[in-house]
Structure 1
Amino acid sequence: MVDAETATILQQELSAVILLAVAAGVAILVGRMRVPFTVALVVVGLGFAFFPDFIALDISSELILGLLVPPLLFEAVFHLPWPRLRMEMLPVMLLALVGTLAGTFMVGYIVNVWVGLPWLAALAFGALISATDPVAVIALFKSLGVSKRLGILVEGESLFNDAVAVVLFNLALAAALGGDSLSWSHGIKAFVIIGGGGLAVGVVLGYVVSALILRAVDNPLVETTTTLALAYGSYVIAESFGSIFGIEHFHFSGILAVVAAGLMVGNLGLGNTSPSTRLTLENFWELLAFLVNSFIFLFIGIKIHLTDLNSENVLKNIGIAIGAVLFVRIVVVYGLNMFHNVLQPARKIPLAYSHVSFWGGLRGAISLALALTIAGSGAFSDEVGDTVRFMTFGVVLFTLLVQGTTIGALINKLGLAGKSASEQDQQRHQAQIYAHQAGRRQLEKLGHEGVLFREMAIAMTDTYDLDIAENSNHLGSHFEAHPELEVSMLISARRDALLAEQSALLDLSRRGLTSADIAHELNVEIDHRLAALDLLEERWEEVGGN
């Protein structure tokens, strides 16, 4: 006989299996439709509201922030190249720090005046709604071939402003619980300590894993497990820092710790691993990101009950909140990007990038999790908590269902979609040549080894030769018609060659044929060349090379 506890566990397992199956089905469907995967998940999640007993998972703020957000952040920065991020650090930090701080107070002021929320509750809402979530947008960027610089700007802002928003939200909540006012001096001091400490925790743990474990151990399973432990461990250690050392009510930013740790592993640790381990790591984190994203966006839909939003007063408050968020986003994005262009005229941000940054500022998991936190905090009355929660739900739905479904059309209208028909044709011919060459080599090998009769192998390789020659002729004619594609092809080939050089140096160092110091010195030189190549590619994109 199954006891109650076992039955509950089985129900939760069944719910998780159902959500995974739904996510897989949605992924298949959106592959045939022009709808972002994450947006489709939210819509499906909304449908679960009509079957309240179908999903037995406890969707709490702790589940979202503590279990789902760390691997999602880690995977995002895992693939974020530090040289490119460093070049864009000024505009990214302007939006993430100044923009989030200004947005918090501006949105807070508007909802305080127009909705009537208490000042600290309005600040808490302004903070939580300032956390952008570009998952759907970044996936669309990749499919459309948007410039890497634009992707870095949008993703970089999101990674850092999430942490800023969480810190500001917690400060407002703590002030409300303590019955105090939130002063500028106290807020800035607390932010520097909490944010700086989180970065320090992430850097130290990320360096230990990257420089010691990933370099010393050559086991894909162990190294992959270590990075997973790092993603969660950096978050937990930062958030529990005070408890570990006996300091009550003291913690660092777990989100910034995860971001720093992921940057260390992605830019230092991967260089210390073998090619097979690197492939295992990338495949593992790609799968985990898919699973986490699936759960998060289904949870968003499940947690938002449309019936709760179906009243005149609630809809009015949601309309005010949406208007406030859009107005403040316009002021922040265009204002700070113009300010950046004055500071760095040589690296101006095009106006079209500002359009995409404004409209691509979606809200998602972190905003939802923070809104759910208010309900059980005791900082505000139930009525105030419900108002903040309903406004958050409304803004999240609007950004995902309206902005998320139209951002692709905006990118195309602005001419920022990099994969033109001519470039797709080029890549198709190149892929066919590459694949045919691999097939031809395998047939030759089988012929030499006697697995195939030599005459059979020759006849089959002759067929491959005809296909390769045909695609090569098409490619030559294509380049004559579109000479601008040669530059991007040369840049791509040069980058591939430099990465091959780094892989060869790593192999030499592992086999003891060259010292670690010399390998590191030469790797640094190659890193500089890759950075210069990235800059060249960026300039080419900006002048319309695509």
Structure 2
Amino acid sequence: MPPLQLASLLIVLAALFGTINYFVLRLPQAIGILLVALIVSLAAMALDALVPGLGIGSGLRDLVLGIDFSDALLEGMLGLLLFAGALHVKVEDLRAQALSVFVMATIGVALSVAVVGVGFSWLTGMPLLVALVFGAVVSPTDPVAVLGVLRAARLSRSLETTIAGESLFNDGVAYVVFLILIGLAFPAAHGAHGAAEGGNAVAAAAMLFLREAVGGALLGGVLGWLTFRVMRRIDDYALEVLITLALAFGGYELAVAAGVSAPIMAVVAGLMIGHVGMKYGMSDETRKYVDAFWKMIDEILNAVLFLLIGIEVFAVAFDLDGIETLVAAVALSLAARLVSVAVPVLLIGRRQGFERGTIPIMTWGGLKGGISVALALSLPDSDWKPLILTATYVIVVFSILVQGLSVGALARRFSREPKLV
């Protein structure tokens, strides 16, 4: 199907499923769209099993498999989503929570990858390096769908900023870790020399991390600053909206071409425009239009993304004989998230000061999303890829539907509690 027709179909389905959710389910929009898409997909699969002559399942499966979900997200939607998310995070608030965000997005990610990797290797017999790749796949969090629920629970600004900031940088760091580990685990597929070179491989991995992370941050800062300098000389809201869109699209592609982290570039550029650009480079009218435009982009892309997650069930080969492994994978993912939150909070709690309930709220609210599915789909073919893809999909769906629909109640339970220290 031509790209324009495919995009049109996805927009129509997202609007249709969103309307069904609005009138019937009344769930948060992105979660409702995912649930409707999942129900429709499973119903189509069941109908195909009962009446195989109709060919419904095979036709839909061919359509879904024809969508390169990994490229669509990692090379297209992700940059816009991260830029839009960062644009609405207040740098003043983020600066106050910088230590907690940094520790959770670095040490926290490393702990999560290690816990999932070691645990899944022990559970399944998967080679440790491959299991660590799986850990990197399911470590990025995507709390965009639940931020509205958390705001409705009237969380303190500090906790809300920590959740938003950690999720933005967590995605970028986890993606870099994924690139490093996949090069070590599948050297033939990625032109790497593999882990056999011992210390050289470790040093190369460390240099790659620094180049990707630091390079992405520097590029985002430079592009954001240059864009601000141009926008402050312009007073045309339509042109300035277009310029921010060019920054998000063009900056992401430039980062990919330069070999630095495009997600981190998008976050830093978004923070720069959201803070310096909006405050000093835009008129009130322009600020209003830029803010509204990126909120709509965020809502539309999330609707399409969650629709894609719902229909990607056709790309997953479920094996009911391994249901215990899938349940264990969900439990292991939650345990890893608990460790990745609890250790940083306990390490810096006295210095930073956290709201009571930070650990349970951030653990249960650390939703997995489209980036995990995209990373799993991008893995090179191997004997372990079907299991990784299935486990990832189950973790993501459980996370969004179960955790996403209950984290608001958990947040409200702690919303009136005093600080720990």
TM-score bracket for the superposition, by shorter chain length = 0.7 to 0.9
Change (3 A) 1:124 1:208: same
2:22 matched residue in structure 1: 28
Letter in 2 for 1:219: D
Q: Is 1:59–1:303's contact at 8 Å kept on the other side of the alignment? A: no
Question: Looking at CA atoms only, which structure, 1 or 2, has the larger radius of gyration?
Answer: 1
Match 1:259 to one of 253, 256, 267 = 267
For residue 139 of structure 1, report the CA deviation from its aligned partner: 1.4
Bigger relative contact order (CA 8 A; separation at least 6): 2
1:171 matched residue in structure 2: 180
Q: Does 1:209 align with 2:227?
A: yes
Letter in 2 for 1:196: V
1:218 matched residue in structure 2: 235
Q: Is 1:115–1:320's contact at 8 Å kept on the other side of the alignment? A: no
1:105 matched residue in structure 2: 114
| Percent pairwise identity | 29
| TM-score, length basis structure 1 | 0.68
1:430 matched residue in structure 2: none
Q: Is 1:72–1:289's contact at 8 Å kept on the other side of the alignment? A: yes
Q: What do the CA deviations read for 1:389-443 (whole angstroms, capped 9, x no partner)?
A: 0110011111111111111121222245xxxxxxxxxxxxxxxxxxxxxxxxxxx
Taking the aligned partners of 2:179 and 2:106, their CA distance within structure 1 comes to 16
Q: What do the CA deviations read for 1:307-347 (whole angstroms, capped 9, x no partner)?
A: 7324122x2221221121111222221221011113x0xx3
Q: Is 2:248–2:266's contact at 8 Å kept on the other side of the alignment? A: yes
Q: Does 1:120 align with 2:129?
A: yes
Change (3 A) 1:218 1:366: same
User: 1:8-47 counterparts in 2 under 5 A?
Assistant: 8=2, 11-26=5-20, 28-29=22-23, 33=26, 35-47=27-39
Give the SS at the match of 1:240.
helix
Q: Tell me which moved more, 298-307 or 158-167.
A: 298-307
Taking the aligned partners of 1:351 and 1:229, their CA distance within structure 2 comes to 41
Give the SS at the match of 1:399.
helix
Q: Does 1:370 align with 2:375?
A: yes
Letter in 2 for 1:324: L
Taking the aligned partners of 1:307 and 1:61, their CA distance within structure 2 comes to 14
| TM-score, length basis structure 2 | 0.88
User: 1:221-370 counterparts in 2 under 5 A?
Assistant: 221-241=238-258, 251-271=259-279, 272-305=281-314, 308-313=317-322, 315-342=323-350, 344=351, 347-370=352-375
Letter in 2 for 1:400: I
2:48 matched residue in structure 1: none
1:519 matched residue in structure 2: none
Taking the aligned partners of 1:59 and 1:193, their CA distance within structure 2 comes to 28
1:148 matched residue in structure 2: 157
For residue 372 of structure 1, report the CA deviation from its aligned partner: 0.7
Taking the aligned partners of 2:403 and 2:22, their CA distance within structure 1 comes to 23
Q: Does 1:133 align with 2:147?
A: no
| Superposed CA RMSD | 2.2
For residue 542 of structure 1, report the CA deviation from its aligned partner: 4.8
Letter in 2 for 1:180: G
Change (3 A) 1:96 1:543: closer
Q: How many residues are matched?
A: 393
User: 1:384-423 counterparts in 2 under 5 A?
Assistant: 384-416=384-416
Change (3 A) 1:16 1:305: closer
Give the SS at the match of 1:349.
coil
Q: Is 1:213–1:223's contact at 8 Å kept on the other side of the alignment? A: no
Match 1:195 to one of 213, 218, 228 = 213
Q: Is 1:238–1:254's contact at 8 Å kept on the other side of the alignment? A: yes
Taking the aligned partners of 2:28 and 2:5, their CA distance within structure 1 comes to 30
Taking the aligned partners of 2:247 and 2:20, their CA distance within structure 1 comes to 31
Q: Tell me which moved more, 228-237 or 298-307.
A: 298-307
Q: Is 1:198–1:238's contact at 8 Å kept on the other side of the alignment? A: yes
User: 1:480-491 counterparts in 2 under 5 A?
Assistant: none
Give the SS at the match of 1:392.
helix
Alignment gaps of 5+ in structure 1: 1-6, 242-250, 417-540
Letter in 1 for 2:12: I
1:504 matched residue in structure 2: none
Taking the aligned partners of 1:355 and 1:21, their CA distance within structure 2 comes to 34
For residue 304 of structure 1, report the CA deviation from its aligned partner: 2.0
Letter in 2 for 1:227: T
For residue 11 of structure 1, report the CA deviation from its aligned partner: 4.2
For residue 284 of structure 1, report the CA deviation from its aligned partner: 0.7
Give the SS at the match of 2:384.
helix
Change (3 A) 1:270 1:368: same
Taking the aligned partners of 1:387 and 1:153, their CA distance within structure 2 comes to 33
Taking the aligned partners of 1:26 and 1:86, their CA distance within structure 2 comes to 41
For residue 227 of structure 1, report the CA deviation from its aligned partner: 0.3
For residue 179 of structure 1, report the CA deviation from its aligned partner: 5.5
